[in-house]
Amino acid sequence: MEQYIVSARKYRPTTFSSVVGQRALTGTLKNAIATDRLAHAYLFCGSRGIGKTSCARIFAKTINCANPTADGEACNECESCRSFNEGRSMNIVELDAASNNGIDDIREVIEMVQMPPTHGRYRVFIIDEVHMLSSAAFNAFLKTLEEPPSYVIFILATTEKHKIIPTILSRCQIYDFNRITVNDIAEHLASVAANEGISAERAALNVIARKADGAMRDALSIFDQVAASSKGNITYASTIANLNILDRSYYGRLLDAFVKGDVPAALLIYKEIRERGFDSLFFVNGLGQYLRDLMVAQNPATACLLEDADEVKAEMAAAAAKCPPQFLYRAMALCNDADLNYRAASNKQFLVELTLIKLCQSFSPSPSDGDNGEGQLKPIVTKQAEAAKETKADEIAKAAKIAKEADVAKVANIAKEATAATAPASTPASTVRPGRIPLPKISLRHGLVDEKAAANAAQNAADTVREKRTRAYSPEAVNTFWESYIQSHPSAKVIINTMRTAKPRQIGGDSYVMTVDSEIQSNVLKPALPEIVGYMRDRLQNDNFDIVVEINTGESSPMTWTEREVYNYMVKENQAFASFAEEFKLTLL
């Protein structure tokens, strides 16, 4: 029975053309080989599983190939290629710096450099995870890396370029490998599935590709796992279940709840997700990613940022059409805040539920144009509230119908009685001139009261004009409410500092004045003055209270003194300080 080999090893690239997602980089390497412009040291950088070591091996084999093909690939037939393919080549040496990172290991490499190749042109040293070398090893390696023998080429590979010392970087040609796209990974998995005789849905392969996060090795490992669990028939449902991935359908249902402002539905969906065993932080991050995908799918210019199949892009665009951009921005901000606060929250479930409630309440545009994630609050409507609302509407309609069907004679009698009641006792009712009595205008139509006129009359009777507030207050009350305004606005530092130093002074009756020391303070304070005056009027229950701002044209107050003025004042008023300053020859710098 043939031994099973995992796909990550079985389908490891052996030629430049079989490397997935690095076309520009492999083209550059092939051109360098074709023109014989080879550097003595290369540094391959990039995240895990994207082909750095594979490209290093292919490059090492190709530069020693005796008969390269017309397109710059190794022939796989010469002695050098056969020895490499069979794993017995002495010209290619691989070192894992993660486990061989000491100075003795590098000294052994330096000794091996002195041996020329047994066949072929070059001896290639591939050092993987080179950032794991110790500082002493790096320093010992510098001279050899800078001036190796003509037959030696070093290929260094790393996932963390920032950990490599600058003196090493300056001696290498640096190649940055790209993160492999979802579409490229899905296409490669489809070809692997076809070669293995496995049936695979494209949607399932897209899920695997997204899960791999740009790493082809991870994608092939996940592919093997799903293929084993689904017995050779990889479906979307089996992939979601096997990888324990939260299906997008949950996020679609949540979006509908957000659009409708349905808080109970959103909370129940979250409960269902928790019962399936999903971590709440994983859910919050997934929801944020879904909202981000909706945002980029909403605009055809950014739809390319959505790494998915065309049918999924169309579905996301249709869902995004239901959402104004402002909602998506606020929703992403709320999810980001929940992610930042999650680890510090003592009740994590409450944090997520509160975020969902805010998302339901923020679908309406915010009264302000701020990006703080807040929106107009909507009441949480229950079935009982809806029933009560309908009952009240029925009662209003019934009352309107009764008023509409009122007898005209009754209306006339009411008007007649009102006329008699408002006339002076000494004056007969018949002498009162029509039109002088403040009665609502009543229009008659086919013997019935005009419904609109009746409604207007009822509204006018219900409206009352608020009287002007003139409650008396004490100076202590003014100071108390002044301080309470300062305490309630801690973020307006310039305004409240000015209010502390320029407290209102009574100039007569309900008129007060604030004296500031500069025009800058006046310009900052005046825009906020209407709000301050309104606050004080509400607290004092007096609408006559008013404040004006004036600039001090006399001597400056101690609060605005310069350092020199403070020093001169202290010398003048405190003889002990003056003697101390003179004795120790103190001066201002």
How much of the chain, in percent, has pLDDT values that exceed 90?
Answer: 25
Residues 24 and 135 in one domain: yes
Burial, 392: exposed, middle or buried (Cβ in 10 Å; 0-12, 13-18, 19+)? exposed
Q: Per the structure block, which two tokens stand in for 373?
A: 């994630």
Q: What is the DSSP letter of 570?
A: H
Three-class SS of 497-563? HHHHHCCCEEEECCEEEEEECCHHHHHHHHHHHHHHHHHHHHHHCECCCEEEEEECCCCCCHHHCCH
Q: What is the pLDDT of residue 502?
A: 81
Residue range 304-313, pLDDT digits in tens: 888 777 778 8
Q: Confirm whether 446 is domain-assigned.
A: no
Residues 91 and 194 in one domain: no
> Between 168 and 404, where is the model more confident?
168
Residue range 466-478, pLDDT digits in tens: 567 888 888 888 8
Residues 236 and 147 in one domain: no
Q: What is the pLDDT of residue 449?
A: 44
Q: Please, which residues have CB within 8 angstroms of residue 112's CB and are 6 or more apart in sequence?
A: 93, 125
The answer to whether residue 440 scores a pLDDT higher than 90 is no
Residue range(s) defining the domain that contains residue 145: 7-176
Phi, psi of 25 (to 5 degrees): -70, -45
Query: Residue 433 in 3-state DSSP?
Result: coil
CB-hemisphere CA count at 13 Å for 132?
Answer: 15
Residue range 554-575, pLDDT digits in tens: 665 555 556 676 777 787 888 8
The answer to whether 135 and 167 are in contact (CB under 8 A) is no
Q: Which residue has the tokens 């029509």?
A: 434
Q: What is the pLDDT of residue 351?
A: 93
* Rounded average pLDDT over 6-14: 89
Average pLDDT score, the chain: 80
Last residue of a domain, one of 324, 339, 361: 361
* Rounded average pLDDT over 31-54: 91
Residues 57 and 160 in one domain: yes
Q: Provide the number of structural domains found in the chain.
A: 5
Q: Please, which residues have CB within 8 angstroms of residue 35's CB and are 6 or more apart in sequence?
A: none
Residues 42 and 165 in one domain: yes
Residues 42 and 148 in one domain: yes
* Rounded average pLDDT over 244-259: 88
Q: Confirm whether 409 is domain-assigned.
A: no
Q: Confirm whether 108 is domain-assigned.
A: yes
Residues 236 and 347 in one domain: no
Q: What is the pLDDT of residue 223?
A: 92
Q: Highest mean pLDDT: which of 185-194, 362-371, 390-399?
A: 185-194
Q: Confirm whether 391 is domain-assigned.
A: no
Residues 12 and 38 in one domain: yes
Q: What is the pLDDT of residue 561?
A: 58
Q: Confirm whether 18 is domain-assigned.
A: yes
Q: Confirm whether 450 is domain-assigned.
A: no
> Between 426 and 51, where is the model more confident?
51
Residue range 345-367, pLDDT digits in tens: 999 999 999 999 999 987 754 44
> Between 183 and 403, where is the model more confident?
183
Please state whether 231 falls in left (phi above 0), alpha (psi between -120 and 50) or beta. Answer: left
**CATH code of 479's domain:** 3.30.300.180
Query: Residue 67 in 3-state DSSP?
Result: coil
Residues 215 and 300 in one domain: no
Last residue of a domain, one of 243, 274, 289: 243
Residue range 312-325, pLDDT digits in tens: 888 888 888 888 88
Q: Confirm whether 448 is domain-assigned.
A: no
The answer to whether residue 424 scores a pLDDT higher than 60 is no
Q: Confirm whether 403 is domain-assigned.
A: no
Q: Highest mean pLDDT: which of 70-79, 342-351, 367-376, 536-545?
A: 342-351
Residues 55 and 162 in one domain: yes
Q: What is the pLDDT of residue 426?
A: 42
Q: What is the pLDDT of residue 495?
A: 83
Residues 12 and 145 in one domain: yes
Q: Please, which residues have CB within 8 angstroms of residue 78's CB and are 6 or more apart in sequence?
A: 65, 66, 67
Please report which confidence band the pLDDT of residue 284 belongs to, taking 50, 70 and 90 as the band edges: very high
**CATH code of 280's domain:** 1.20.272.10
**CATH code of 190's domain:** 1.10.8.60
Residue range 474-501, pLDDT digits in tens: 888 888 888 888 888 888 877 888 888 7
**CATH code of 51's domain:** 3.40.50.300
Q: What is the pLDDT of residue 505?
A: 86
Residues 56 and 93 in one domain: yes
The answer to whether 156 and 141 are in contact (CB under 8 A) is no
* Cα dihedral 288/290/292/296 (nearest 10): 180
